Amino acid sequence: MVGSRLLAVGAAVVVAVALVVHMGTTTAASHPHNWFMAIVYCLLGERVVAHARRNAVGWLVLALGVCGALAVGAAALPGVWWVAWVGTWIWWPTYALLPVVLLLFPDGRPPGRWWWAAVVVAGVGVVLPVVGIGWASWDRPVEFWHQVFGGTARRGVAVVLAKIGFGVFAVALVSAVISLGVRWRGSGGTSRHVLGWAMAGALVGIPTLALELASGAAWGAWLVVAAAFPAALVVVILRYGLYDIELIIHRTLLYGLLGSLLVCAYTAVVLAITMFVPGLANAVATFVVVVALAPLHHVLRRALDRQLFGDRADPYRALVELGRTLANPCRPHEVLPGIAASVGRALKLPYVALHLEGQDCRPPDVYGCSHGWEQHEVELRHSGQRIGLLVAEARAGDERLGRRERGLLDALAGQASPAVHSARLALALRKADARFERKRRDELHRISKDLHDTIGPSVAGIRMQVNGVLRNMEGTDAQVRKRLGEAVTDLTSLTGTVRKVVRNVQALDLKSGLVPALCRQAERYDDELTVRVVPSGRLDDIPPSIVSAAYLVVSEALANVAHHAEAAECRIDVVVTACGLELTITDDGRGIPEDRVPGVGLESMKERCQVLGGEFGVERSDTGTRVRARIPFERN
């Protein structure tokens, strides 16, 4: 990056010196094409290199600009022999490097191994004319081009080399266009659009280049040739974010537009005053600048600064916006993303992340996308304890956040810390709830196994023994026989109770998932009504606490339908969305009485949802009653 800046600064110095020389002498200036290349390509190339150091395209664009600057400087000092000699051939790379750029655009590599041959051909098209022209002009560089256009230049091997190089350059141009077309046809999405704009620039610039080189047209063909590729490059940078430098281009365009508008306004004022008050033009113009244009410039620049850099100049506004974000009711899992988004929007940052202390396994809540640029970290503290880390990324690869921006980040972090602490506690509570739920399921599984494998068989065995004793008794007291018969009856009833308890406990074992558990629960009501379970969405990674709450809500709702609704059918919709789990239980029963009083079951379902940050409601449907429950959760 330092090397690219040195080259750009050196080119700027050469252009400035040439401009001063031409203003003070009558020396013929270089062709406008070279001036354009020196200014535009150097600026654009330096920006691309700053954001994509290892991309050859940026360095080649910068090389085009440097060659243009050297051509401009050589024209300003024709009396120096070696400068004049460099000037005879340095203009050629400003044309000949374009095929190389197109072959490597946009990622700095050719589309395939065989396309390296085209890159080599394009390189030969650069080198041969430079060698030929430099060889031919070695002894008389100042008169060389006059002799060429006058038809008196010597012919020989040098001229042959140059002509061969021109032919190779033409082949390289065709290869570059074919390469763009092949890649455009085989690509998709953003890459297709980027290559399409590059190909459009090539198809506009190449025919115009042929006209310029063939006829020396001076009617503006050079401008089309020079501007076609950078115009296409600026479009794809602004529209598709190529090389991640769209912000820099936006700033340049907007600040340039602001300066141009003010200059035009000043010029218009001076011209108008000159027409009516010629003698006071300077004084009145100065007054207008001080009274009108200076405040206007301040207002426009402040608006532009807010557009590009957010509220760094107005911390109060940023703090108020964050306060509004935290004041709006939101679910616990929405707090941290909301804070990150508020901070990112306040400072127009490309990436903001919130890391919670002690939760390394949990991915951070982020706003935007990281480009790998320099990041600034701010500790989040509550009651003297570190609870997290706020990470903010700079807006560009060669920038860093300024003092005002870092101060504003500290203030925003201080205001957000209590909310982050609350969200951290909510997450910890959910983790504890999930651990409790896992232990509860394990305990239920153990109890079910013990009932099924030990207590159930033991009771059944005792019943069979007592029954056998009863059958073998003869002449025993009737009272004893009666008591033994009652014991057999009680043991039979106890065996059925154990089996029922085992079935209920197994139904509460949700290891197989929510939908299978609901289907087992629905089968218990087959004799009373038809129950359908309709799942939708990804149901494989719902947190255990959510599964347990949903199962209990549906179980209570089914019990209400079976006991009170007088329904024949019931439908259970289980939908997983981006926000959480949605349950809808609909029956075709007699509906809810208007004077109903919510019972313990409805209150229990409502509390289960609200504890997890959800919502619960009961309403009349077209056919009966509809129960809705929404429970938010974060995916693992």
Quote the CA–CA distance of 619 and 614 in Å, as a whole number: 17
| pLDDT at residue 583, as a whole number | 92
Which residues, in sequence order, are CB contacts of 473 under 8 Å at separation 6+? Answer: 480, 481, 484
Quote the CA–CA distance of 250 and 476 in Å, as a whole number: 107
Length of the chain as a residue count: 636
Q: Per mean pLDDT, which range of 86-90, 138-142, 548-552, 587-591 is the poorest? A: 138-142
| pLDDT at residue 262, as a whole number | 64
Average pLDDT over residues 217-229: 69
Average pLDDT over residues 410-433: 82
Is the confidence at residue 251, as pLDDT, over 60? no
> Tens of pLDDT along 87-137?
888 888 988 888 999 888 888 888 888 888 889 999 998 999 888 888 887
Tokens linked to 553: 């809500």
The secondary structure of residue 205, as a DSSP letter, is: H
Domain extents for the chain?
Answer: 2-244, 254-309, 322-430, 437-507, 512-632
Quote the CA–CA distance of 180 and 614 in Å, as a whole number: 54
CA angle 456, 460, 463 (to 5 degrees): 145
pLDDT level of residue 484 (50, 70, 90 thresholds): low
| pLDDT at residue 628, as a whole number | 92
* CB distance 543 to 563 below 8 Å: no
Strand partners of residue 180 = none
* CB distance 98 to 213 below 8 Å: no
| pLDDT at residue 522, as a whole number | 84
Q: Per mean pLDDT, which range of 238-252, 461-475, 489-503 is the poorest? A: 238-252
| pLDDT at residue 454, as a whole number | 66
Average pLDDT over residues 485-503: 69
Q: Could you tell me which CATH class the domain 512-632 is placed in? A: alpha beta
pLDDT level of residue 582 (50, 70, 90 thresholds): very high
> Tens of pLDDT along 513-540?
788 888 888 888 877 788 899 998 887 7
Tokens linked to 85: 């000699």
> Tens of pLDDT along 166-220?
889 889 888 988 888 888 888 877 788 888 888 888 888 877 777 766 665 545 6
Quote the CA–CA distance of 256 and 39 in Å, as a whole number: 15
Output 495 or 127, whichever has higher pLDDT: 127
Is the confidence at residue 289, as pLDDT, over 70? no
Q: Which CATH architecture has domain 322-430?
A: 2-Layer Sandwich (3.30)
Quote the CA–CA distance of 337 and 352 in Å, as a whole number: 10
| pLDDT at residue 298, as a whole number | 67
Quote the CA–CA distance of 192 and 180 in Å, as a whole number: 10
> Tens of pLDDT along 300-353?
667 766 766 777 777 778 778 878 877 776 666 778 888 888 888 888 888 898
pLDDT level of residue 456 (50, 70, 90 thresholds): low
pLDDT level of residue 420 (50, 70, 90 thresholds): confident
Is the confidence at residue 361, as pLDDT, over 70? no
| pLDDT at residue 266, as a whole number | 65
| pLDDT at residue 263, as a whole number | 63
- pTM, full prediction: 0.53
| % of the chain beyond a pLDDT of 70 | 70
| pLDDT at residue 572, as a whole number | 92
Is the confidence at residue 573, as pLDDT, over 90? yes
Average pLDDT over residues 150-154: 61
Strand partners of residue 583 = 574, 629
* CB distance 27 to 21 below 8 Å: yes
| pLDDT at residue 260, as a whole number | 58
Average pLDDT over residues 132-156: 70
| pLDDT at residue 248, as a whole number | 56
Helix (H, G, I), strand (E, B), or coil: what is residue 329? coil
Tell me the pLDDT of the chain averaged across its residues: 77
> Tens of pLDDT along 615-629?
898 888 878 889 999
| pLDDT at residue 270, as a whole number | 63
